[in-house]
Amino acid sequence: MRLNRVLIVAVCLLLASSLYASTLEDLLNMPGTVLGKGSNNLPVGQFGVKSYKVEELTLTEPVIVDGQTINAAKAWRVTINGGPFPVRDQAAVISVGGADLMPAREGTDLSVVATITFDQSMLTNGAVITLSYGEDTTVLPEKLTRN
């Protein structure tokens, strides 16, 4: 009897976790706490890159990535504005401090590209931020400055 109750609770928790899991898309759209933000307004490079924003996201649900569940308390969102950013076959990749993050996704109105990381170790003061399509790289005019 007790075992059955435990099983029922476990199944309910499992269902609840799958019902209330986030996707990377959710993470691109959820509110976050700004950790650092640039202010450049002059377009740079082929796609008119202007500035950046780094935000910390507090996660209350697991995140599903590629069918895998990631249980993390925090994630970080790196956003580059400017554009319009073309929707290309070659993936847009944001790099911070020389580390490539997951392929970026263009915002709905193509005025930003953004990506998520579950590792903040590269988000350090003075880190260089770039946006690349293959070997075509634009270096942002401002380095990362955390609040």
Partner 1 sequence: MKKILFAISLIVAFPLFGADPGARGPLPVTREEYNFGDTAFTPTNFPGPVELLASVHYPTGLPGGPYPLVVFLHGRHATCFTGRTGFLLWPCSSFSAPLQPIPSYRGYDYIAEVLASNGYIVVSISANGINARDNFVRDLGALARAELIQKHLDIWNGFNTVGGAPFGSKFVGKVDLTRIGTMGHSRGGEGVVRHFVLNQSLGSPYGIKAVFPLAPVDFNRPVINNVPIAVMLPYCDGDVADLQGVHFYDDARYNVAADTAAKDAIVVMGANHNFFNTIWTPGIFDAASADDWNAFVPGGRSDPHCGQVKGNARLTPDQQRGTGLAYIAGFFRNNLGGEDFNSQFNGDTPPPPSATTDQIFLMFQAPAAARLDVNRLLSAGDLTTNTLGGAVAQAGITPYELCGGEAPEPAKCLPAERNSRQPHTTPSARSPKRGLSQLQAGWSSVSAFIDNGLPKGTRDVSAFRTLQFRASVNFGDARNAVGVPQNLTVVLSDRKNTVRVTVDTVSRSLFYPPGEKTHVPKLLLNTVRIPLRAFQNIDLTDIRSVRFEFDQTDSGALLISDIAFSN
Q: Where do contacts with partner 1 occur on this chain (CB under 8 A)?
A: 23-25, 45-46, 64-67, 84, 86-92, 102-110, 133-136
Q: Minimum CB separation from partner 1 for residue 24, in Å?
A: 4
The residues near 113 (Cβ < 8 Å, ≥ 6 apart) are: 79, 80, 83, 85, 92, 94, 104, 105, 106, 107, 131
**DSSP secondary structure letter of residue 89:** S
Element (H, E) at 9: helix 2-19
Residue nearer to partner 1 on the CB measure, 59 or 65: 65
Residue nearer to partner 1 on the CB measure, 17 or 145: 17
Q: Minimum CB separation from partner 1 for residue 18, in Å?
A: 13
Q: Minimum CB separation from partner 1 for residue 59, in Å?
A: 16
